[in-house]
Amino acid sequence: MIPRVYVDTSVIGGCLDDEFASESRALLEMAQNGEIMLLVSELLIRELEDAPPEVRAVLTRLAPDTVERLFINEESERLLAAYLRAKVVGGQHANDAHHVAIATVARADVVLSWNFKHIVHWDRIRLFNAVNLREGYPIAEIRSPKEFV
C-alpha cells in the first residue's frame, strides 16, 4: 500500500516559494510517480480560492488518480471542536486545526505542512494527539515536507 499523505494549503503554496519549492514540488512528483496518494481536502480547495492563479493551478497539473478528495463532515467538525475546546489553537486559527481533524478522521498516514506555528510545532503536535487519543483516534503523524521527501 502506498502512503496516504494529507497536505495543507502551505504545501501547495510552497511550490512557488523559494524556501519551500524544492520539497513541495518533490512531494507532488512523488504523487505523479505513484509513490504516494495525495489527500486534498475541501478546506484546502476553499483556501486556494483566495490564492494567486499560479498557486491555484498547481493542483490542476496532477493526474486525477494521484489525488484523493476529502470532504468536511460532521466527524471532522466534532474533532475540530474538541481541538478548540482543548485550546490546541485559538479560534482565529481554526482552519489549521481543521486540516489536522480532516486528515485524522480520514486516517491519513501523515499530515504535511509548512505551518510551523500552528501545526508542525512539537507542543501543538502533542496537544493534537492528546485530543486524538481521548476522542478515540490514532496519533497523527505531523511533519514538514522536508522530513518526508
For the chain (149 residues), the mean pLDDT of every run of 10, in chain order, is 97 97 98 98 97 95 96 98 98 98 98 98 98 98 98
**Cα–Cα dist 42/36, whole Å:** 19
What Å distances lie between residue 103 and 54, 72, 100, 146, CA to CA? 25, 10, 5, 19
Domain spans in the chain, listed from the N-terminal domain onward: 4-148
Q: Which DSSP string corresponds to 14-41?
A: HTTSTTTHHHHHHHHHHHHTTSSEEEEE
Of 3.30.465.10, 3.40.50.1010, 3.40.50.300, 1.10.220.70, the CATH number of 4-148 is: 3.40.50.1010
**Cα–Cα dist 64/57, whole Å:** 14
What is the value of pTM for the model shown?
A: 0.97
